[in-house]
Structure 1
Amino acid sequence: MAIRMPRTIQARQILKRSHSNGSSNAASTEIPKGYFAVYVGEQEKKRYVVSVSLLSEPTFQELLHQAEEQYGYSHPMGGLTIPCSEDVFTDLASRFGAF
């Protein structure tokens, strides 16, 4: 029997691992405190920097769960990759003022 962690804790683990696996890319150092980068898109991935307040939203937590199922902790872009269309993500993030 597996013990399931709350999704917020899972999100923090994903972010921590993504950051530690990232390159020394200058773009990764341009993220302001209280924000994090995600890659979104179905074919071509686009980078967004969003507020950490988004992590507490149940809809975003569901996207994180989908990312975990699809990618595990090995994200192809070296950062947190969300498996949804840009339109869906930008709508969600703008509703919660995450940009």
Structure 2
Amino acid sequence: MRSAREEIFGPVASVIRAGDFDEALYLANDTDFGLTAGICTTSLKYAHTFKARARAGMVMVNVPTAGVDFHVPFGGTKGSSYGAREQGRAAVEFYTSIKTAYMAP
């Protein structure tokens, strides 16, 4: 469905049944967008694999995918991203112009 494949910024939840972890990861990555991805699990193996293989700018394990901390970079991948990250150290680097100047004594 369209609501499961596009970014919809509103109170919408798509629930898709997956046969196993690999299929669920495939479904999570099978989109043109990648702002956030999340998993709820008690398995460290699945948590680490999901963090490494989820194609999203922010990956959450056992925490909500909204309401991220202001001190970390915010942004996505694929169609969910444009330019530099908006928060954290990445924002400082984006909004800073470096100038080298010399002056004789």
- TM normalised by structure 2 equals 0.22
Greater fraction of residues in helix: 1
* RCO comparison, higher one (Cα < 8 Å, 6+): 1
The TM-score with structure 1 as length reference comes to: 0.23
